[in-house]
Structure 1
Amino acid sequence: MGLKKQLGLGIMSAVLGLTLIGGGTYAYFSSSKTTNNTFAAGTLDLAVEPTTIIDVDGLKPDDSVIRDFELQNSGSLDIAKVLLETNYSVIDAEGNNTDDFGKHIQVEFLYNADKLDEVIYETTLADLKEMTPEAVNESVFLPAFGEKGLEAGSSDDLVVKFNFLDNGEDQNQFQGDSLKLEWKFNAQQAAGKEQ
Protein backbone atom coordinates (compact mmCIF):
# COMPACT_ATOMS: atom_id res chain seq x y z
CA MET A 1 0.00 0.00 0.00
CA GLY A 2 1.27 3.41 -0.93
CA LEU A 3 2.02 6.26 1.39
CA LYS A 4 -0.89 8.28 0.05
CA LYS A 5 -3.34 5.44 0.69
CA GLN A 6 -2.04 4.93 4.22
CA LEU A 7 -2.27 8.63 4.94
CA GLY A 8 -5.83 8.78 3.51
CA LEU A 9 -6.95 5.81 5.63
CA GLY A 10 -5.35 7.34 8.69
CA ILE A 11 -7.13 10.67 8.22
CA MET A 12 -10.47 8.92 7.63
CA SER A 13 -10.00 6.82 10.77
CA ALA A 14 -9.21 9.95 12.77
CA VAL A 15 -12.31 11.79 11.48
CA LEU A 16 -14.50 8.74 12.25
CA GLY A 17 -13.10 8.51 15.76
CA LEU A 18 -13.66 12.22 16.44
CA THR A 19 -17.22 11.96 15.18
CA LEU A 20 -18.03 9.07 17.51
CA ILE A 21 -16.43 10.82 20.48
CA GLY A 22 -18.08 14.16 19.68
CA GLY A 23 -21.51 12.60 19.25
CA GLY A 24 -21.39 11.02 22.68
CA THR A 25 -20.45 14.20 24.52
CA TYR A 26 -23.71 16.13 23.78
CA ALA A 27 -25.98 14.60 26.44
CA TYR A 28 -28.89 16.81 27.72
CA PHE A 29 -32.15 16.67 29.69
CA SER A 30 -35.43 16.71 27.79
CA SER A 31 -39.14 16.79 28.46
CA SER A 32 -42.17 16.75 26.16
CA LYS A 33 -45.94 17.10 26.42
CA THR A 34 -48.70 16.39 23.88
CA THR A 35 -51.92 18.39 23.68
CA ASN A 36 -55.17 17.19 22.15
CA ASN A 37 -57.04 19.93 20.24
CA THR A 38 -60.35 20.02 18.40
CA PHE A 39 -61.80 22.26 15.73
CA ALA A 40 -65.52 21.69 15.21
CA ALA A 41 -67.57 23.66 12.72
CA GLY A 42 -70.95 24.98 13.79
CA THR A 43 -74.17 24.41 11.89
CA LEU A 44 -76.43 26.79 10.05
CA ASP A 45 -79.94 25.33 9.93
CA LEU A 46 -82.91 27.46 8.87
CA ALA A 47 -86.37 25.91 8.96
CA VAL A 48 -89.76 27.28 7.94
CA GLU A 49 -92.90 26.05 9.64
CA PRO A 50 -95.32 25.35 8.05
CA THR A 51 -93.72 24.52 4.73
CA THR A 52 -96.88 25.52 2.85
CA ILE A 53 -97.62 29.10 3.81
CA ILE A 54 -100.68 29.66 1.63
CA ASP A 55 -103.05 27.36 -0.24
CA VAL A 56 -106.37 29.05 -1.07
CA ASP A 57 -108.82 29.04 -3.94
CA GLY A 58 -111.92 30.94 -4.92
CA LEU A 59 -110.29 34.38 -4.60
CA LYS A 60 -111.92 37.39 -6.16
CA PRO A 61 -110.66 40.96 -6.52
CA ASP A 62 -110.47 42.78 -3.16
CA ASP A 63 -110.10 39.52 -1.15
CA SER A 64 -107.35 39.29 1.48
CA VAL A 65 -105.70 36.30 3.13
CA ILE A 66 -103.50 36.51 6.24
CA ARG A 67 -101.04 33.73 7.00
CA ASP A 68 -98.34 33.43 9.61
CA PHE A 69 -95.26 31.26 9.55
CA GLU A 70 -92.24 30.72 11.73
CA LEU A 71 -88.60 30.98 10.77
CA GLN A 72 -86.53 28.74 13.05
CA ASN A 73 -82.78 28.73 13.57
CA SER A 74 -82.20 25.12 14.60
CA GLY A 75 -78.44 25.37 14.14
CA SER A 76 -75.62 26.34 16.48
CA LEU A 77 -74.63 29.52 14.59
CA ASP A 78 -76.45 32.86 14.50
CA ILE A 79 -78.13 33.79 11.22
CA ALA A 80 -77.25 37.33 10.23
CA LYS A 81 -79.31 37.50 7.05
CA VAL A 82 -82.29 35.73 5.57
CA LEU A 83 -82.38 36.07 1.82
CA LEU A 84 -85.71 35.43 0.12
CA GLU A 85 -85.99 34.46 -3.52
CA THR A 86 -89.47 34.69 -5.04
CA ASN A 87 -90.61 32.77 -8.06
CA TYR A 88 -94.08 31.98 -9.35
CA SER A 89 -95.86 30.60 -12.36
CA VAL A 90 -99.35 31.47 -13.54
CA ILE A 91 -101.67 28.85 -14.96
CA ASP A 92 -103.94 30.70 -17.37
CA ALA A 93 -107.22 28.75 -17.33
CA GLU A 94 -108.70 30.35 -20.44
CA GLY A 95 -105.51 31.26 -22.30
CA ASN A 96 -106.62 34.89 -22.45
CA ASN A 97 -104.25 36.70 -20.06
CA THR A 98 -102.84 39.97 -21.32
CA ASP A 99 -101.38 40.87 -17.93
CA ASP A 100 -99.31 39.15 -15.23
CA PHE A 101 -101.53 37.85 -12.42
CA GLY A 102 -98.61 38.45 -10.01
CA LYS A 103 -98.98 42.22 -10.55
CA HIS A 104 -102.43 41.99 -8.99
CA ILE A 105 -101.38 40.11 -5.85
CA GLN A 106 -100.13 42.50 -3.19
CA VAL A 107 -97.93 41.18 -0.37
CA GLU A 108 -97.78 42.92 3.00
CA PHE A 109 -95.16 41.70 5.47
CA LEU A 110 -96.49 42.45 8.96
CA TYR A 111 -94.65 42.56 12.28
CA ASN A 112 -96.42 39.79 14.18
CA ALA A 113 -99.81 38.39 15.09
CA ASP A 114 -100.32 41.01 17.83
CA LYS A 115 -99.67 44.01 15.57
CA LEU A 116 -101.41 43.11 12.33
CA ASP A 117 -101.79 46.75 11.32
CA GLU A 118 -98.06 47.49 11.32
CA VAL A 119 -96.69 46.82 7.86
CA ILE A 120 -92.96 46.15 7.53
CA TYR A 121 -92.93 46.17 3.75
CA GLU A 122 -95.52 46.16 0.98
CA THR A 123 -95.11 45.18 -2.68
CA THR A 124 -96.65 42.99 -5.37
CA LEU A 125 -95.54 39.46 -6.15
CA ALA A 126 -94.32 40.65 -9.55
CA ASP A 127 -92.10 43.32 -7.96
CA LEU A 128 -90.95 40.96 -5.20
CA LYS A 129 -89.86 38.48 -7.88
CA GLU A 130 -87.65 41.16 -9.44
CA MET A 131 -86.03 42.24 -6.15
CA THR A 132 -82.62 40.93 -5.20
CA PRO A 133 -82.56 38.65 -2.13
CA GLU A 134 -80.30 41.22 -0.42
CA ALA A 135 -82.90 43.96 -0.96
CA VAL A 136 -85.63 41.74 0.51
CA ASN A 137 -83.45 41.11 3.57
CA GLU A 138 -82.95 44.84 4.10
CA SER A 139 -86.64 45.65 3.54
CA VAL A 140 -88.27 42.75 5.39
CA PHE A 141 -86.03 40.68 7.63
CA LEU A 142 -83.73 43.36 9.01
CA PRO A 143 -86.70 45.35 10.37
CA ALA A 144 -88.33 42.14 11.65
CA PHE A 145 -85.29 40.58 13.36
CA GLY A 146 -83.19 43.64 14.12
CA GLU A 147 -79.41 43.93 13.92
CA LYS A 148 -78.83 40.66 15.80
CA GLY A 149 -80.53 38.58 13.14
CA LEU A 150 -81.95 35.20 14.09
CA GLU A 151 -79.91 33.84 16.97
CA ALA A 152 -79.02 30.15 17.27
CA GLY A 153 -81.82 28.12 18.83
CA SER A 154 -84.41 30.87 18.38
CA SER A 155 -87.42 31.40 16.15
CA ASP A 156 -89.47 34.33 14.97
CA ASP A 157 -93.06 34.57 13.75
CA LEU A 158 -93.79 36.46 10.56
CA VAL A 159 -97.19 37.39 9.23
CA VAL A 160 -97.97 37.93 5.56
CA LYS A 161 -101.13 39.41 4.10
CA PHE A 162 -101.93 38.66 0.47
CA ASN A 163 -104.39 41.00 -1.24
CA PHE A 164 -106.00 40.36 -4.63
CA LEU A 165 -106.02 43.98 -5.74
CA ASP A 166 -109.19 45.36 -7.28
CA ASN A 167 -107.90 47.83 -9.86
CA GLY A 168 -111.41 49.08 -10.70
CA GLU A 169 -111.16 47.69 -14.20
CA ASP A 170 -112.21 44.49 -15.92
CA GLN A 171 -110.16 41.64 -14.41
CA ASN A 172 -112.15 38.80 -16.01
CA GLN A 173 -108.99 37.47 -17.65
CA PHE A 174 -107.94 36.07 -14.24
CA GLN A 175 -111.09 33.99 -13.67
CA GLY A 176 -110.13 30.39 -12.97
CA ASP A 177 -106.39 31.19 -13.08
CA SER A 178 -104.01 29.95 -10.42
CA LEU A 179 -100.64 31.17 -9.27
CA LYS A 180 -98.03 28.76 -7.89
CA LEU A 181 -95.75 30.69 -5.53
CA GLU A 182 -92.31 29.46 -4.46
CA TRP A 183 -90.40 31.21 -1.72
CA LYS A 184 -86.84 30.04 -1.14
CA PHE A 185 -85.32 31.17 2.14
CA ASN A 186 -81.51 31.22 2.33
CA ALA A 187 -79.68 31.83 5.59
CA GLN A 188 -76.28 33.48 5.90
CA GLN A 189 -74.12 33.26 8.99
CA ALA A 190 -73.05 36.19 11.09
CA ALA A 191 -69.51 37.50 10.66
CA GLY A 192 -66.73 35.47 12.25
CA LYS A 193 -65.28 36.54 15.58
CA GLU A 194 -62.33 35.73 17.77
CA GLN A 195 -63.10 32.74 19.97
Structure 2
Amino acid sequence: MGMKKKLGMSVVTASLGISLIGGGTFAYFSDTEATSNTFAAGTLDLSVDPQKIIDVSNLKPGDKMVREFKLTNDGTVKIDTVNLLTDYTVVDAQGDNASADFGKHIRVNFIFNWEQESEPVFQTTLHELKNMDPDVVQREVWDPLWEQKGGLTSGTMNELWVEFEFVDNGEDQNMFQGDQLELDWEFNATQGEGGDK
Protein backbone atom coordinates (compact mmCIF):
# COMPACT_ATOMS: atom_id res chain seq x y z
CA MET A 1 0.00 0.00 0.00
CA GLY A 2 1.49 3.34 -1.03
CA MET A 3 2.18 6.30 1.13
CA LYS A 4 -0.62 8.32 -0.42
CA LYS A 5 -3.11 5.52 0.23
CA LYS A 6 -2.01 5.16 3.84
CA LEU A 7 -2.22 8.88 4.36
CA GLY A 8 -5.70 8.97 2.77
CA MET A 9 -6.90 6.11 4.98
CA SER A 10 -5.58 7.86 8.06
CA VAL A 11 -7.45 11.03 7.20
CA VAL A 12 -10.69 9.10 6.64
CA THR A 13 -10.24 7.15 9.88
CA ALA A 14 -9.47 10.33 11.81
CA SER A 15 -12.52 12.09 10.35
CA LEU A 16 -14.74 9.17 11.27
CA GLY A 17 -13.39 9.12 14.81
CA ILE A 18 -13.93 12.86 15.25
CA SER A 19 -17.48 12.64 13.96
CA LEU A 20 -18.24 9.78 16.39
CA ILE A 21 -16.75 11.69 19.28
CA GLY A 22 -18.60 14.86 18.28
CA GLY A 23 -21.85 12.97 17.81
CA GLY A 24 -21.47 11.26 21.15
CA THR A 25 -21.03 14.60 22.85
CA PHE A 26 -24.62 15.59 21.98
CA ALA A 27 -26.35 12.26 22.68
CA TYR A 28 -29.22 12.31 25.29
CA PHE A 29 -32.45 10.49 26.22
CA SER A 30 -35.64 11.81 24.72
CA ASP A 31 -39.34 10.93 24.66
CA THR A 32 -42.28 12.45 22.81
CA GLU A 33 -45.99 12.27 23.63
CA ALA A 34 -48.79 13.78 21.50
CA THR A 35 -52.28 14.72 22.69
CA SER A 36 -55.45 14.89 20.65
CA ASN A 37 -57.94 17.52 21.89
CA THR A 38 -61.48 18.41 20.88
CA PHE A 39 -63.74 21.42 21.34
CA ALA A 40 -67.31 20.45 20.46
CA ALA A 41 -70.04 23.06 20.75
CA GLY A 42 -73.43 22.03 22.11
CA THR A 43 -76.74 22.64 20.39
CA LEU A 44 -79.65 24.81 21.43
CA ASP A 45 -82.83 23.37 19.95
CA LEU A 46 -86.30 24.28 21.21
CA SER A 47 -89.31 22.61 19.66
CA VAL A 48 -92.98 23.50 20.05
CA ASP A 49 -95.72 20.94 19.64
CA PRO A 50 -98.14 21.40 18.01
CA GLN A 51 -96.83 23.82 15.39
CA LYS A 52 -100.33 25.33 15.13
CA ILE A 53 -101.61 25.90 18.65
CA ILE A 54 -105.06 27.13 17.72
CA ASP A 55 -107.26 27.03 14.63
CA VAL A 56 -110.92 27.88 15.25
CA SER A 57 -113.77 29.42 13.31
CA ASN A 58 -117.28 30.74 13.96
CA LEU A 59 -116.25 32.63 17.10
CA LYS A 60 -118.70 34.78 18.96
CA PRO A 61 -118.17 37.08 21.94
CA GLY A 62 -117.89 35.05 25.14
CA ASP A 63 -116.27 31.97 23.51
CA LYS A 64 -113.30 30.43 25.35
CA MET A 65 -110.81 27.97 23.88
CA VAL A 66 -108.22 26.07 25.96
CA ARG A 67 -105.22 24.65 24.12
CA GLU A 68 -102.21 22.65 25.28
CA PHE A 69 -98.73 23.04 23.85
CA LYS A 70 -95.37 21.54 24.73
CA LEU A 71 -91.94 23.12 24.82
CA THR A 72 -89.16 20.54 24.45
CA ASN A 73 -85.41 20.94 24.63
CA ASP A 74 -84.15 18.75 21.78
CA GLY A 75 -80.63 20.16 22.05
CA THR A 76 -77.69 19.37 24.31
CA VAL A 77 -77.47 22.74 26.09
CA LYS A 78 -79.84 23.78 28.87
CA ILE A 79 -82.35 26.44 27.87
CA ASP A 80 -82.35 29.23 30.41
CA THR A 81 -84.95 31.57 28.96
CA VAL A 82 -87.67 31.56 26.32
CA ASN A 83 -88.92 34.83 24.91
CA LEU A 84 -92.33 34.88 23.26
CA LEU A 85 -92.73 37.30 20.38
CA THR A 86 -96.30 37.95 19.28
CA ASP A 87 -97.53 39.33 15.99
CA TYR A 88 -100.89 39.19 14.28
CA THR A 89 -102.79 40.56 11.33
CA VAL A 90 -106.51 41.15 11.11
CA VAL A 91 -108.48 40.53 7.94
CA ASP A 92 -111.43 42.92 8.12
CA ALA A 93 -114.19 41.07 6.27
CA GLN A 94 -116.64 43.96 6.10
CA GLY A 95 -114.14 46.80 6.01
CA ASP A 96 -115.91 48.55 8.87
CA ASN A 97 -113.46 48.06 11.77
CA ALA A 98 -112.21 51.62 11.45
CA SER A 99 -109.81 51.96 14.40
CA ALA A 100 -111.11 48.91 16.27
CA ASP A 101 -108.47 46.20 16.74
CA PHE A 102 -109.80 42.63 16.95
CA GLY A 103 -106.66 41.72 18.95
CA LYS A 104 -107.81 43.96 21.80
CA HIS A 105 -110.86 41.71 22.20
CA ILE A 106 -108.95 38.40 22.40
CA ARG A 107 -107.77 37.72 25.95
CA VAL A 108 -104.88 35.29 26.52
CA ASN A 109 -104.72 33.37 29.81
CA PHE A 110 -101.52 31.39 30.43
CA ILE A 111 -102.09 28.40 32.71
CA PHE A 112 -99.51 25.96 34.09
CA ASN A 113 -101.77 23.00 34.64
CA TRP A 114 -105.35 23.04 33.49
CA GLU A 115 -106.40 20.30 35.92
CA GLN A 116 -104.79 21.82 39.02
CA GLU A 117 -104.82 25.55 38.31
CA SER A 118 -108.14 27.34 38.31
CA GLU A 119 -106.68 30.82 37.85
CA PRO A 120 -104.35 31.92 35.05
CA VAL A 121 -100.78 32.75 36.04
CA PHE A 122 -100.67 35.56 33.52
CA GLN A 123 -103.46 37.32 31.67
CA THR A 124 -103.32 39.84 28.85
CA THR A 125 -104.80 40.59 25.42
CA LEU A 126 -103.21 39.78 22.08
CA HIS A 127 -102.85 43.51 21.45
CA GLU A 128 -100.96 44.02 24.71
CA LEU A 129 -98.88 40.87 24.14
CA LYS A 130 -97.85 42.12 20.70
CA ASN A 131 -96.55 45.38 22.17
CA MET A 132 -95.10 43.88 25.34
CA ASP A 133 -91.41 43.44 26.14
CA PRO A 134 -90.69 39.69 25.79
CA ASP A 135 -88.93 39.80 29.18
CA VAL A 136 -92.31 40.39 30.84
CA VAL A 137 -93.67 37.10 29.49
CA GLN A 138 -90.43 35.36 30.48
CA ARG A 139 -90.71 36.71 34.03
CA GLU A 140 -94.45 36.09 34.43
CA VAL A 141 -94.90 32.77 32.61
CA TRP A 142 -91.70 30.74 32.27
CA ASP A 143 -89.73 31.85 35.36
CA PRO A 144 -92.27 30.58 37.93
CA LEU A 145 -92.58 27.32 35.99
CA TRP A 146 -88.81 26.78 35.81
CA GLU A 147 -87.96 28.12 39.26
CA GLN A 148 -87.75 24.60 40.70
CA LYS A 149 -85.91 23.15 37.70
CA GLY A 150 -83.63 26.05 36.85
CA GLY A 151 -84.53 26.05 33.16
CA LEU A 152 -85.33 23.47 30.54
CA THR A 153 -82.59 20.85 30.54
CA SER A 154 -81.66 18.72 27.57
CA GLY A 155 -84.26 16.10 26.73
CA THR A 156 -86.96 17.54 28.98
CA MET A 157 -90.38 18.92 28.13
CA ASN A 158 -92.87 21.29 29.74
CA GLU A 159 -96.59 21.23 29.05
CA LEU A 160 -98.45 24.52 29.13
CA TRP A 161 -102.04 25.47 28.65
CA VAL A 162 -103.29 28.68 27.15
CA GLU A 163 -106.85 29.90 27.07
CA PHE A 164 -108.00 32.29 24.36
CA GLU A 165 -111.19 34.21 25.07
CA PHE A 166 -113.20 36.39 22.72
CA VAL A 167 -114.17 38.89 25.40
CA ASP A 168 -117.80 39.92 25.47
CA ASN A 169 -117.53 43.58 26.47
CA GLY A 170 -121.31 44.02 26.68
CA GLU A 171 -121.24 46.50 23.80
CA ASP A 172 -121.85 46.32 20.06
CA GLN A 173 -119.15 44.12 18.52
CA ASN A 174 -120.87 43.59 15.15
CA MET A 175 -117.88 45.17 13.38
CA PHE A 176 -115.92 41.92 13.97
CA GLN A 177 -118.40 39.62 12.22
CA GLY A 178 -116.57 37.54 9.60
CA ASP A 179 -113.15 38.91 10.58
CA GLN A 180 -110.08 36.72 10.83
CA LEU A 181 -107.09 37.15 13.09
CA GLU A 182 -103.89 35.40 12.03
CA LEU A 183 -101.64 34.94 15.06
CA ASP A 184 -97.88 34.32 14.88
CA TRP A 185 -96.04 33.23 17.99
CA GLU A 186 -92.28 32.93 17.89
CA PHE A 187 -90.48 31.23 20.78
CA ASN A 188 -86.83 32.30 21.11
CA ALA A 189 -84.70 30.16 23.40
CA THR A 190 -81.42 31.30 24.93
CA GLN A 191 -78.77 29.55 26.96
CA GLY A 192 -77.65 30.54 30.42
CA GLU A 193 -74.21 31.88 31.33
CA GLY A 194 -71.18 29.75 30.53
CA GLY A 195 -69.31 28.05 33.35
CA ASP A 196 -66.33 25.88 34.22
CA LYS A 197 -66.12 22.55 32.43
1:74 and 1:174 mapped to 2: Cα distance? 40
- Mapping 1:75-86, distance limit 5 Å: 75-86=75-86
- Partner residue, 1:129: 130
1:86 and 1:58 mapped to 2: Cα distance? 23
Residue 23 of structure 1 and its aligned partner are, at CA, apart by: 8.4
1:57 and 1:116 mapped to 2: Cα distance? 27
- Partner residue, 1:16: none
2:130 and 2:54 mapped to 1: Cα distance? 17
Work out whether residues 120 and 144 of structure 1, in 8 Å CA contact, stay in contact via their aligned partners in 2: no
Instruction: Between 79-88 and 25-34, report the one with greater CA deviation.
Output: 25-34
* Selected match of 1:185 from 176, 184, 187: 187
2:182 and 2:115 mapped to 1: Cα distance? 29
1:25 and 1:173 mapped to 2: Cα distance? 102
Residue 22 of structure 1 and its aligned partner are, at CA, apart by: 7.9
When normalised by structure 2's length, the TM-score is: 0.84
For the aligned residues, what is the CA RMSD?
1.6
- Partner residue, 1:161: 163
- Partner residue, 1:18: none
Q: How many correspondences in the alignment?
A: 175
Q: Cα deviation per residue 1:59-99 (whole Å; 9 max; x = unaligned)?
A: 11111000000001011111000011000000000000031
- Partner residue, 2:110: 109
Letter in 2 for 1:141: W
Task: List 4+ stretches of structure 1 deviating above 6 A.
Answer: 21-24
1:81 and 1:48 mapped to 2: Cα distance? 14
DSSP 3-state at the match of 1:135: helix
Letter in 2 for 1:179: L
Q: Cα deviation per residue 1:17-76 (whole Å; 9 max; x = unaligned)?
A: xxxx98873433221111111111111110000100000011111110000000010111
When normalised by structure 1's length, the TM-score is: 0.85
**1:151 equivalent in alignment to 2:153:** yes
Work out whether residues 111 and 118 of structure 1, in 8 Å CA contact, stay in contact via their aligned partners in 2: no
Q: Cα deviation per residue 1:105-131 (whole Å; 9 max; x = unaligned)?
A: 000000123224131100000000001
DSSP 3-state at the match of 1:47: strand
DSSP 3-state at the match of 2:152: coil
- Partner residue, 1:29: 29
Work out whether residues 46 and 74 of structure 1, in 8 Å CA contact, stay in contact via their aligned partners in 2: yes
- Partner residue, 1:49: 49
Structure 1: unaligned runs, 5 residues or longer: 1-20
Letter in 2 for 1:32: T
DSSP 3-state at the match of 2:121: strand
2:24 and 2:192 mapped to 1: Cα distance? 59
Structure 2: unaligned runs, 5 residues or longer: 1-20
DSSP 3-state at the match of 1:136: helix
